[in-house]
Homo-oligomer: A and B are copies of this chain.
Amino acid sequence: MSAGVPKPGRADAPSSPAAAPAGDWIGQLRWNDAGLVAAIAQDAASGTVLMLAWMNREALELTVASGRAVYWSRSRGRLWRKGEESGNFQIVREIRLDCDGDAVLLQVEQEGGVACHTGRESCFYNRLDDARWIAVEPVLIDPRRLYR
């Protein structure tokens, strides 16, 4: 997130294997005051940015252990196994950490091709166009079919 002024010793820490004994990878994350890091899910094949969500330590550990994206739902105040209701799981192919350790980027295979609860591929379907937000992505699956 801080692609700005270098922060000596901090921004580089996550990239130094010497600073990270195997197994201590989780200790290098910088959780916010709520104990969360931002998590971006990107389609591994198309490169489409699908969604931005949040993870606490348990969600990230479960994601790594299971190979499926698990987030922390701030609105529901509980772990959110992506696809638990819609069946549209995210198979995680790669996890990246950013330079200051407070955001992760997941390369995923999106089951069903739909990440958004509106039935669209991506949650980022509103494009700013002449001072309006216009929905420019098609609804691929009726949300009523996603959440029976």
Residues of A at the B interface (CB closer than 8 Å) are 1-7, 11-12, 14-17, 20, 22-25, 28, 38, 40, 42, 46-54, 64, 73-76, 80, 82, 85, 94-100, 103-105, 115-118, 120, 123-128, 130-135, 143, 147
A117 & B28 in contact (Cβ 8 Å cutoff): no
Q: Is the interface of A mostly helix, strand, loop or mixed?
A: loop
Cross-interface CB contact of A117 among B99, B116, B133, cutoff 8 Å = B99
Query: A2-B73, A5-B117, A118-B6 are contacts. A123–B143 as well, Cβ < 8 Å?
Result: no
In the complex, besides A11-B117, A14-B126, 14 extra interface pairs with C-beta distance below 8 angstroms are A2-B117, A3-B117, A4-B75, A17-B133, A22-B130, A28-B133, A38-B52, A47-B48, A52-B52, A94-B128, A96-B124, A96-B125, A96-B128, A99-B125
